[in-house]
Amino acid sequence: MKKYIIYLAAALALVSCDKLLNQYPHNAVSSDNLTEEDAELLMIGAYNIAQYKPTFNGWAMFDIIGGDIIRPGATSTNTPALVVQGAIAPDNSMVSGPWNGYYAGLYQINNFINSVEKIPDSARKTEMLGVGHFFRGLYYYNLVARWRSVPIVTGPITEDVGQESEADCWKFVEDEFKLAVQMAPDFSNKNYVSKDAAKALLARTYLATGKKTEAAALAEELITCGRFALADFSDIFRGKYNREEIFTFANLLEEGSYNIGSYYYTKESPVGGSYTFCPTQEAMDMFQHIDKRRTVSVDIQGSNNVVNKYCQGDAGHDPIYITRLAEMYLISAECKGLALGIDRLNELRRFRGLPDVAPATEAAFQDAVLNERRLELFGEGFRWFDLVRTGKYEQVVGVDTKYTVFPIPSRELTLNKLLNQNPLWVATPEGE
């Protein structure tokens, strides 16, 4: 693993109307002389780097390799299987870029946590630590979901670090979100880390690790707490006020260096775009005309199919949606099973304009939930892992089992002699 030397980059306000976040973070602060004000400014840097360091590939990779997204035009990448085979490889920047970004972010967030721990105790100190543990949990969730077994780093290192087991890595993610639930601030705004955001990602973690009872309980807590409510897609994805978003990165133009919408929109659109990726025709057709999500999720620009959730194109930056209440409905339904979960599934479907479903078996119910996740969360970074964790990826996308896990980037294996390649990739020639 790389030995990163990261200083905090100056970042503008996460939410422009907030006085505190209109200040610039320090570029570097001595952890021995840190004040609470210093810590506040460092925290702004933590928000900033958490948005842009994973890169577009970090946020969109699960969609790109999930079977519903292809590259337009080129015959070498115009099927889902070909996209996957071209994207997931030890030497591909689509694999190495997010790895580097996550560990660069972890360098900063570890420094933030370790520095804040040294300032005098206060309620605000506790809240800042909660934010730190939330981001560390989010980084490691993304690492473990992709690579399964990764190094766990919680402080400065100068030596090589080996991987922990997949079980220990998931336990670490769970523990970080539990700390965030205890310590983070109460919910105030969708663009700020909160206890509720931590509960949502802890529920997601429980789902990933098969702890269905715990996942359903947390999901239900958020559904019934009264702070959140399902909202129209046009409100969520067109910047209108809504109560569905639990945590969303603002991704303001002055904060980051990439624009999600540009990758999906065409140059012929009113706002322009590079049109690097597009939905498959199957993805276009999966939305019924009565589905209220359809026109916000996908569209046709000229003769081109486009992902429509990110509508800024080249003209601006779209938010990065981390978790919203609809995901909690789907987690609750999946984890409760047919007998107890069908009501939550149909409640969500009715809100989106669809009729109830009535699967006859548990297997059919789980397929119905998975399909609803495909529709509801299209383009938001879920599909690949949903198929992998349910054991359906190879069959649905038509690829080899090795693509159910990411290879460790080749350069990292060279730099860190304690790293071992994921077993499914050991016999694979690099670059293939």
Which of 219, 189, 188 has the alpha carbon at shortest distance from 204? 219
Q: Contact 368/345 with Cβ under 8 angstroms?
A: yes
Q: Contact 14/21 with Cβ under 8 angstroms?
A: yes
Give the model's pLDDT for residue 256: 65
Give the model's pLDDT for residue 200: 99
Task: Provide the CATH topology of domain 1-184+402-418.
Answer: 1.25.40
Q: Can you say how many angstroms the Cα of residue 123 is from the centroid of all Cα atoms in its chain?
A: 29
Give the model's pLDDT for residue 8: 35
> What gap in Å lies between CA 200 and CA 302, rounded to an integer?
38
Q: Is 316 helix (H, G, I), strand (E, B) or coil?
A: coil
Give the model's pLDDT for residue 3: 33
Give the model's pLDDT for residue 253: 73
Per-residue pLDDT 10s for the chain (432 aa) are 433 323 333 333 333 333 333 333 444 455 567 899 999 999 999 999 999 899 999 999 999 999 999 999 866 678 999 999 999 999 999 999 999 999 999 999 999 999 999 999 999 999 999 999 999 999 999 999 999 999 999 998 889 999 999 999 999 999 999 999 999 999 999 999 999 999 999 999 999 999 999 999 999 999 999 999 999 999 999 999 999 999 999 998 776 667 899 999 999 899 999 999 999 999 999 999 999 999 999 999 999 999 999 999 999 899 999 999 999 999 999 999 999 999 999 999 999 999 999 999 999 999 999 999 999 999 999 999 999 999 999 999 999 999 999 999 999 999 999 999 999 999 644 444
Q: Can you say how many angstroms the Cα of residue 283 is from the centroid of all Cα atoms in its chain?
A: 20
Helices 166-183 + 123-147 axis angle, to 10: 150
Give the model's pLDDT for residue 11: 34
Beta bridge partners of 321: 248
Q: Contact 103/53 with Cβ under 8 angstroms?
A: no
Beta bridge partners of 307: 298
Q: Which residues, 6+ apart, have CB-to-CB distance to 181 below 8 Å?
A: 195, 198, 199, 202
Query: CA triplet 10, 16, 17: central angle to 5 degrees?
Result: 140
Q: Which residues, 6+ apart, have CB-to-CB distance to 431 below 8 Å?
A: 89, 90, 91
Residue 259 exposed, middle or buried by CB count within 10 Å (0-12, 13-18, 19+): buried
- Indicate the domain borders of the chain: 1-184+402-418
Give the model's pLDDT for residue 288: 98
Dihedral (Cα; 414, 155, 115, 121), 10-degree rounding: 160
